[in-house]
Amino acid sequence: MTRQERADIVNKTLKKLFPKADTVLHWSNPWELTVAVVLSAQCTDKKVNEVTEKLFKKYSKLADYVNAKEEEFQQGIHSTGFYKAKTRHILGAARKIQDDFGGTVPQTMEELTTLPGVARKTGNVILDRAFGKTVGIAVDTHVIRLSRKFGLTDNTDQNKIEQDLMKLIPPKDWMNYTYRTIEYGRKLSPARKVNDTDDPISIALKNLH
């Protein structure tokens, strides 16, 4: 079976299982989405939503982040983990958006990735959800693990995995592939079952050998 054939089966099965998969982070504008995605690193989306429910009330506009006191902000996001680095990234990004982008979250990958704490994964989510621009595939831990498990890539580097997947998955499905793979990882093939092959996609791939 070619890698493309494998990818077609994976993508088709994901579509069937999770047709409406989407980010479950709560946000109401591009800046809030940026904050939520940065907070979601090494943290569950459920926990991020609990934290941002209070955070977005206290810091309701970009200027509130620009003027925020670091220690106070750290306390507000403490439970998401890595709170010192996340505080530096979020407050630094707010200042850069204010100074360099006229107070508006930029709408290109090149500009987004100049913000502290924003690499391609975060940039892809912001562009897709906030601006309806799909330029790639957001590669998180689920996407890394499952794309390797299903034989779609041999790489371990996020950017190389993204390039491999972009050749195999149709552009219209790029970000849906991310959201569906995350759902699949959570519900049907969690990390603790890394060697199990009784999940639907593994079975489908086995049957077509």
In 3-state terms, what secondary structure has residue 117?
A: coil
Which among 80, 97, 131 is the end of a domain? 131
CATH number at residue 109: 1.10.340.30
Cα dist. 85→53, 57, 76, 89, 129 in Å? 21, 22, 13, 6, 24
Whole-number Å distance between alpha carbons of 127 and 112: 9
User: Which residues have CB under 8 Å from 44's CB, separation 6+?
Assistant: none
> What pTM was computed for the model?
0.93
Whole-number Å distance between alpha carbons of 114 and 93: 9
Closest CA to 41 of 161, 134, 121, 107: 121
In 3-state terms, what secondary structure has residue 29?
A: coil
Domain that holds residue 64: 30-131
Whole-number Å distance between alpha carbons of 165 and 183: 18
The one-digit pLDDT tens for each residue of the chain (209 residues) are 899 999 999 999 999 999 999 999 999 999 999 999 999 999 999 999 999 999 999 999 999 999 999 999 999 999 999 999 999 999 999 999 999 999 999 999 999 999 999 999 999 999 999 999 999 999 999 999 999 999 999 999 999 999 999 999 999 999 999 999 999 999 999 988 767 889 999 999 998 76
Residues 117 and 46 in one domain: yes
pLDDT of residue 209: 64
Residues 78 and 144 in one domain: no
Residues 98 and 146 in one domain: no
Cα dist. 41→80, 93, 121, 173, 188 in Å? 8, 16, 10, 23, 21
Residues 90 and 166 in one domain: no
